[in-house]
Amino acid sequence: MIGFSSKIMLKSKKGEFKRRVQPRIKELKFSLSRIKKSPLSLIGLSLILLFASVALLAPIIAPPKYPYEPYRIPRSGYSATPQPPSYQHPFGTTQGQYDIYYGVIWGTRTAFRIGFMVVGSILVIGIILGSISGYYGGLVDEIIMRIVDTFMSIPTLVLAMALVTALGHNLDSVMKALIIVGWPSYARLIRGDILSVREETYVEAARAIGCSDLSIIFKHVLPNAIYPLLIMASLDVGAMVLTAAALSFLGLGAPIGYADWGQMISFARNWIVGPPSNPLAYWYTVVIPGLFILFFVLGWNLLGDAFRDILDPKIRRR
Amino acid sequence: MLLDVQDLKTNFYTYEGVVKALDGISLKIKEGDTLGLVGETGCGKSVTSLSIIRLILPPGKIEEGKVIFNLGENSKSKGKYVDLLKQTEAFVREVRGDKISMIFQEPSSALNPVYTAGEQICESFLLHRKEELCQEAVEDIRKDVERSRFFYRNIYQIEKKFCQWMLRAPHSFWLKFLSSFPLIGKYKRRIKAEATKKTIQILKRMGIPNPEQVVHRYPHELSGGMQQRVVIAMALACNPKLLIADEPTSNLDVTIQAQILDLIREIKGKLGSSILFITHDLGVVAEMCNYVAVMYAGNICEIAPVKELFKNPLHPYTIALMKSLPEPGRKRLESIKGNVPNLINPPPGCRFHPRCSKAMEICSKEKPKTVKVGKEHFVACHIYT
């Protein structure tokens, strides 16, 4: 008898769980159907998923030669001339006999790391400073925005180069430099949106039911102002990887031999055009890492639109 | 006396100069009364209401005056009557939404587009009725504990502990810190569920068909009338003693207007709250209010019981306003000549005198005092002094 009743209990428990989860599943399905409707965001999503799985499976599809330094690209010899794709080196080797296949696979991890770390920190800094500045206004606003102006008046790449040179020659300093260079535009963007949202009646209504400033900023103002920022962030994951690649190409990024797409292209600098008899002889040195960067950035750009369709409730149900 | 506004002055410091939006407003609202505040656009009706709950934002500033509010018997340490303008921001925040709440003009913009209707109504419960909700949650958990087995029982016990902790010390730092972890913070969901239950009840009272579904709708999925009902539900969630309705029907269809007015009247009867009803529509005033205050350019010209005012308007502005109402048998509507004065440089003396047909010499020199002309009938005009 007891067993029987407990079985009923369990069943009702499960029923309750199902009831609670069902609306979420429904919403998720709806989100997926939104993505399915626009083929471009579907392409973007599948590109990013592909890259994500490559990054996750990197130790399996490209087993590291030096287990304690997986990011170090193995090299077979020291000859400068790149070698075309072969059985041992599926994508060939680049200048200095670094294996391109290994470089691009592990470079995917580097790319994700740069993209997420940089954009994540930029988002946090930008949102905090931008919302303080936008919501309170006055002197605080003035000070923060003048700092932003100062940062924005220096060309991005030049400032990033100067910072990397000052901070030291490694990937961490590249990320730090990109964060320092990137946050001002985020702070400014969110400030502008908050300025317009804080005048809305629903903010006044929230104040009229007795919300505190903090909860008004985080619960009522930010959720309405953050979409442009999120879209910009998803576009910037690609853009930041691109800038990091540019720095690497200029010789200011990762240390030599580190798996990084920018570095791979930087190796190919002297081999973009082959000998006059066969100008495309070394195409693989440029094209393969180049395609990886291209598709990665393209994927994030396409995904930016998909994010907007999913996240913004005003557009979502249209 | 529920609300006693004395000599309220609010200025806005703009680039062009100081806008003297309110120039010494005095109002009284008794418990259970509905006071209509009538006037043209820009005469300071909304500023009055916002000043009462201290929601004037810079560049605006409340210069002087008193807003004395009756908190009722269960007020802590502050006494029964408090001057809201002298209290701390935190105290006023507790009063807002709990004791005094507000219905906004435009329902579509008074609702936050990223939250469902239910979440927005829940918010005022969560802000002001946390103790009650906690108690109910504890009650609920007790029932769950009784009919559950060992494993779940322990989880429920933890939830219960947290709810009781919340009751004991709602602002404890450790409580907030711990509940930000995913599983421990589960008790919050309980409290929210209790709030949702209450929300459904209140939506039902608003005459919304199947409130269980409307709770999960976003504002843009609701019609104008429904949105306004949700806004009213938000304002009425905590049974406020004073409801400020800032033109609650001016953007709605006529049929829905009537429904909303009926609803407000009905709910007022049930809850016994007082209403400060702001409108420019004298017809609505006649239907809804038992007292009327007529405002012109930051001044109150005349206060009277509704019937008295319509039968026997005394202030020249009120008379002119009545004449501009369409009425059967009236061939031409009369308009008041001239424009509303610029409040940066308001006319000296009585602010209405440049447009007044009965203006005398003294009108441009001295500001008229408010005089009692009948039982509960007050006029601010030199003719009657």
Over 70: is that where the pLDDT of B59 sits? yes
Over 70: is that where the pLDDT of A313 sits? no
Residue A209: closest C-alpha in chain B: B97
For chains A and B, CB pairs below 8 A equal 77
Residue range B70-77: mean pLDDT, rounded: 66
More confident residue, B185 or B333: B333
B113 touches chain A (CB under 8 A): yes
B97 touches chain A (CB under 8 A): yes
More confident residue, A294 or B235: A294
Q: How remote is the C-alpha of A270 from its chain's centroid?
A: 30
B171 touches chain A (CB under 8 A): no
Query: B42: distance to nearest CA of chain A, Å?
Result: 18
B177 touches chain A (CB under 8 A): no
Residues in chain A: 318
Confidence band of B352 (pLDDT split at 50, 70, 90): confident
- B96 contacts A209? CB cut-off 8 A: yes
Q: Is the dihedral of CA A26, A28, A31, A33 positive or negative?
A: negative
In the numeric block, the tokens 């495309």 are attached to A280
Residue range A265-285: mean pLDDT, rounded: 83
- B124 contacts A23? CB cut-off 8 A: no
Prediction pTM value: 0.74
Confidence band of A9 (pLDDT split at 50, 70, 90): very low
- B124 contacts A209? CB cut-off 8 A: yes
- A211 contacts B123? CB cut-off 8 A: yes
Tens-digit pLDDT profile for residues B126-163: 888 777 777 777 777 777 777 777 777 777 777 777 77
Residue B213: closest C-alpha in chain A: A23
Percent of chain A with pLDDT over 90: 21
Residue pair B273/B239 in contact by the 8 Å Cβ criterion: yes
Tens-digit pLDDT profile for residues A38-95: 788 888 889 999 999 999 998 888 888 888 888 888 888 888 788 888 888 888 888 8
> Which residues in chain B have their CB less than 8 angstroms from residue A196's CB?
none
Of the candidates B280, B204, B215, the one whose C-alpha atom is nearest the C-alpha of residue B248 is B280
Residue range B297-305: mean pLDDT, rounded: 86
Residue range B316-343: mean pLDDT, rounded: 79
Residue range B209-233: mean pLDDT, rounded: 84
Ranges A193-207, B10-24, B129-143, B348-362: which has the least confidence? B129-143
Residue range A128-145: mean pLDDT, rounded: 89
| Predicted local confidence at residue B75, as pLDDT | 55
Q: Rounded CA gap, B341 and B367, in Å?
A: 15
Ranges A107-111, B109-113, B130-134, B362-366: which has the least confidence? B130-134
Residue range A164-191: mean pLDDT, rounded: 90
Residue range B27-48: mean pLDDT, rounded: 84
Report the residue from B105, B115, B127 with minimal CB separation from A210.
B127
Q: Which of A130-134, B16-20, B127-131, B180-184 has the highest mean pLDDT?
A: A130-134
Q: Rounded CA gap, A203 and A219, in Å?
A: 10
Ranges A262-271, A308-317, B285-294: which has the least confidence? A308-317
More confident residue, A193 or B177: A193
- A206 contacts B216? CB cut-off 8 A: no
Residue range A213-237: mean pLDDT, rounded: 85
Q: Rounded CA gap, B338 and B226, in Å?
A: 39
| Predicted local confidence at residue A176, as pLDDT | 92
B102 touches chain A (CB under 8 A): yes
Q: Rounded CA gap, A267 and A260, in Å?
A: 11
Confidence band of A7 (pLDDT split at 50, 70, 90): very low
Confidence band of B182 (pLDDT split at 50, 70, 90): low
| Predicted local confidence at residue A62, as pLDDT | 83
- Give the DSSP letter of residue B170: T
Report the residue from B97, B113, B114 with minimal CB separation from A210.
B97
- A212 contacts B96? CB cut-off 8 A: no
| Predicted local confidence at residue A146, as pLDDT | 93
Query: B221: distance to nearest CA of chain A, Å?
Result: 9
B112 touches chain A (CB under 8 A): yes
- A204 contacts B93? CB cut-off 8 A: no
State the CB neighbour count (10 A cutoff) for residue B92: 20
| Predicted local confidence at residue A262, as pLDDT | 86
Residue B235: closest C-alpha in chain A: A209
B149 touches chain A (CB under 8 A): yes
Residues of A with CB under 8 A from a CB of B: 6, 9, 13, 23, 200-202, 204-212, 219-220, 223-224, 313-314, 317
| Predicted local confidence at residue B226, as pLDDT | 84
ipTM over 0.85: no
Over 80: is that where the pLDDT of B384 sits? no
Over 70: is that where the pLDDT of A158 sits? yes
Question: Strands B242-246 and B100-103: what pairing?
Answer: parallel
Over 70: is that where the pLDDT of B232 sits? yes
- B152 contacts A13? CB cut-off 8 A: yes
| Predicted local confidence at residue A150, as pLDDT | 92
Using DSSP, state whether B4 is helix, strand or coil.
Answer: strand
Interface of B with A in 54-93 (CB under 8 A): 55, 93
DSSP string, chain A: -HHHHHHHHHHHHHHHHHHHHHHHHHHHHHHHHHHHH-HHHHHHHHHHHHHHHHHHTHHHHS--SSTT-TTBPPBS---SS-B---SSSTT-B-GGGBBHHHHHHHHHHHHHHHHHHHHHHHHHHHHHHHHHHHHH-HHHHHHHHHHHHHHHTS-HHHHHHHHHHHH-SSHHHHHHHHHHHHHHHHHHHHHHHHHHHTTSHHHHHHHHTT--HHHIIIIIIHHHH-HHHHHHHHHHHHHHHHHHHHHHHTT-SSPTTB--HHHHHHHGGGGSS--TT-TTTTHHHHHHHHHHHHHHHHHHHHHHHHHHHHH-HHHHT-
**Mutate: best of B46, B56, B114, partner A, most A CBs <10 A:** B114
Tens-digit pLDDT profile for residues B124-135: 888 887 777 777
> Which residues in chain B have their CB less than 8 angstroms from residue A141's CB?
none
Confidence band of A180 (pLDDT split at 50, 70, 90): very high
| Predicted local confidence at residue A10, as pLDDT | 47
Report the residue from A206, A210, A313 with minimal CB separation from B114.
A313
B51 touches chain A (CB under 8 A): no
Report the residue from B94, B102, B221 with minimal CB separation from A208.
B102
Average pLDDT in chain B: 81
Of the candidates A232, A261, A268, A233, the one whose C-alpha atom is nearest the C-alpha of residue A247 is A261
> Which residues in chain B have their CB less than 8 angstroms from residue A193's CB?
none
Residue range B259-281: mean pLDDT, rounded: 84
| Predicted local confidence at residue A318, as pLDDT | 58
Query: B102: distance to nearest CA of chain A, Å?
Result: 7
| Predicted local confidence at residue A317, as pLDDT | 63
Q: Rounded CA gap, A34 and B269, in Å?
A: 47
Average pLDDT in chain A: 84
Confidence band of A117 (pLDDT split at 50, 70, 90): very high
Query: A191: distance to nearest CA of chain B, Å?
Result: 18
Residue A313: closest C-alpha in chain B: B114
| CB-neighbour burial class of residue A85 (10 A; exposed 0-12, middle 13-18, buried 19+) | middle
Over 80: is that where the pLDDT of A201 sits? yes
Residue range B66-76: mean pLDDT, rounded: 73
- A210 contacts B95? CB cut-off 8 A: yes
Q: Phi/psi zone of residue B17: left (φ > 0), alpha (ψ -120 to 50 degrees), beta? A: left
